[in-house]
Chains A and B, each alone.
Chain A
Amino acid sequence: MSVTTEMHRVTGPAASARRIAAMVRRYWYLIRGSWPRLAELAYWPTVQMILWGLVSQFFMTQSSWLAQAGGVLIAGVLLWDLLFRGQIGFTICFLEEMWSRNLGHLFVSPLRPWELVVALITMSAIRTVLGGVFAAVIAILLYEFSIFDLGLPLLAFFLVLMGMGWGIGMVITAIVLRAGLGAESLAWVAMFALAPISAVYYPVETLPEAVRWLAWLTPSAHVFEGMRALMVEGVFRWDLLGRALLLDVVYLGIGAATFAWAFAKAREEGKLLQTGE
């Protein structure tokens, strides 16, 4: 081994942390250097917030249930956006590598796939917090509703929803790695397939009985039920949180396994060098 190389190298867990930080830095450079990317982080949550805030204000004059629990729709919008941002933040960062045809360079470096996944998760959290905080401030300013009034449960909801978003993000990333950039639109649309059964704006009981079991297989339905229990009844449902966390573990496990499988297949088929449609 050359003396020069060893003298200049960081090794062990510190090297892993450094590689993860390098990838986060790479994505941060990208956001920092592009105002459309920065604006995009806040744009959609803000539009959603304004729209649903107005809907909410109207319903509060029409419905005693909503009048009792002011802000339940706005909280739903904000938490749904956390879930969506968590997933898309993960997937978009990976797509950036495919768009710039950079996977070949990345994976001849010592970067491990799991390190990339941790970097994508970190970046997704940063993007979500940036967009989410902006929308939350808008809600305070326009509707005098502060999501932060939920207190510590908000942190639990945030973690569960982000975990679910990352699990689904890994599956979508795996599909794009297998199918090429022709499948990239999944990044924007896939999560919405889960919106009806996530019971974001209505209780799970509203769903047809035949699909309720499907709703209970999503961590998100537990979070939104928990959110309503907290806001309407003033009760924090530990049982819902526990089940949501267990489901998160399953989602993350399935996501990680799918990503690992797609990565192994990409190495088998030479797709890391020839990313594209």
Chain B
Amino acid sequence: MTPALEVRNLTKSFGTVRAVDDVSFSVPSGATVALLGGNGAGKTTTISMLLGLLLPTSGAVRALGHDLVRDRYAVLHRMNFSSPYVELPHRLTVGQNLIVYAELYGVSDAKGRVAELADRLHIADLLDRPAGKLSAGQKTRVALAKALVNHPDLLLLDEPTASLDPDTGDWVRRYLEEYRADTGATMLLASHNMAEVERLCDSVLMLRAGKIVDQGSPAELLAKYGRRTMEDVFLDIARDRRAEPEAEPASDEVPA
């Protein structure tokens, strides 16, 4: 089966700085994959290239069978994106924003789709409120509604639960699981929440200084680094501690 996302030797340089350095990976159709790394590791740059917002210096990206650099408009209607760092226009109401995006994505029954999402994501009472006057949790649910407005087959999520309380965060994760189960959508998510990664993701790509330094399923990585949590695996990789099956437990870990 053709992978939903295929990245080959992706490189992005800004002057002399290589933000992303020869990255290759593929995401099977229907899988959820995490892109992890510390601040400045190259996650946002990679996601920007996967969205076609940023042109790579070299390399290729194929999404849902199409070249994203040369043929992005053949596939953009089947993708969507959510990030806490890119907000919807504040002065428009939630309903107005969602209608505009439904129409931009060519959804035939824009009003019906917005009503359906409002019901499923519990934002019906927010539809008439300006997008700029929402709490962090409300903004996240609205951003998710925008990201799902076109029934995307490929969803790119940048920190989908950043700055959310545990209850709302759990709610978002549950909804993403449901969406994937219902539609078979493929998801790539960047996150700093390792519990989220363990719960949602089939596999993990670890980035450091623009390179993929390790990858595997959460279970494989836990075993490889001899850790109990992805948090510790993340720290090992981010701090360039080598994977050793017999590695000592982290100082705050209680030995088995």
Residues of A within 8 A of B (CB): 1-2, 4-5, 8-11, 15, 18-19, 21-23, 25-26, 29-30, 33-34, 96-97, 100-102, 104-112, 264, 267-270, 272-273
Q: Does B52 contact A (CB under 8 A)?
A: yes
Q: Does B151 contact A (CB under 8 A)?
A: yes
Are A5 and B83 in contact, CB atoms less than 8 angstroms apart? no
Are A105 and B103 in contact, CB atoms less than 8 angstroms apart? no
Contacts of B93 in A (CB 8 A): 29, 33
Bound together, the chains give a CA A273 to CA B53 distance in angstroms of: 7
Can you report 19 residue pairs joining A to B where beta carbons are below 8 Å apart?
Answer: A1-B78, A2-B151, A4-B183, A9-B105, A9-B108, A10-B108, A18-B106, A21-B103, A22-B101, A29-B93, A102-B88, A102-B89, A105-B81, A105-B146, A106-B104, A107-B52, A109-B76, A273-B54, A273-B85
Of all chain A residues, the one with the shortest Cβ separation from B57 is A268
Closest Cβ of chain A to B64, distance in Å, is 7
Are B48 and A273 in contact, CB atoms less than 8 angstroms apart? yes
Contacts of B153 in A (CB 8 A): 1-2, 5
Of all chain B residues, the one with the shortest Cβ separation from A25 is B100
A30/B91 contact (C-beta < 8 A), A1-B153, A10-B106, A15-B106 known:
yes
Closest Cβ of chain A to B142, distance in Å, is 12
Of all chain A residues, the one with the shortest Cβ separation from B132 is A100
Q: Please classify how large the interface on chain B is, using the bins under 10, 10 to 19, 20 to 34, 35 or more.
A: 35 or more
Are A5 and B81 in contact, CB atoms less than 8 angstroms apart? no
Contacts of B88 in A (CB 8 A): 100, 102, 105
A2/B91 contact (C-beta < 8 A), A10-B106, A101-B86, A111-B104 known:
no
| Chain B positions 152 through 173: 1 when the CB is less than 8 Å from some CB of chain A, otherwise 0 | 1100000000000000000000
Are B77 and A1 in contact, CB atoms less than 8 angstroms apart? no
Residues of B within 8 A of A (CB): 14, 44-45, 48, 51-55, 64, 73, 76-81, 83, 85-93, 96, 99-101, 103-109, 113, 146, 150-153, 183-184
Are A2 and B78 in contact, CB atoms less than 8 angstroms apart? yes
Are A33 and B81 in contact, CB atoms less than 8 angstroms apart? no
Are B113 and A8 in contact, CB atoms less than 8 angstroms apart? yes
Of all chain B residues, the one with the shortest Cβ separation from A34 is B91
Scoring A8, A10, A19, A100 by chain B CB atoms within 10 A of each residue's CB, the highest score goes to: A8
A33/B106 contact (C-beta < 8 A), A1-B153, A8-B113, A273-B48 known:
no
Closest Cβ of chain A to B133, distance in Å, is 13
Q: Which of B54, B73, B92 contacts A29 (CB 8 A)?
A: B92
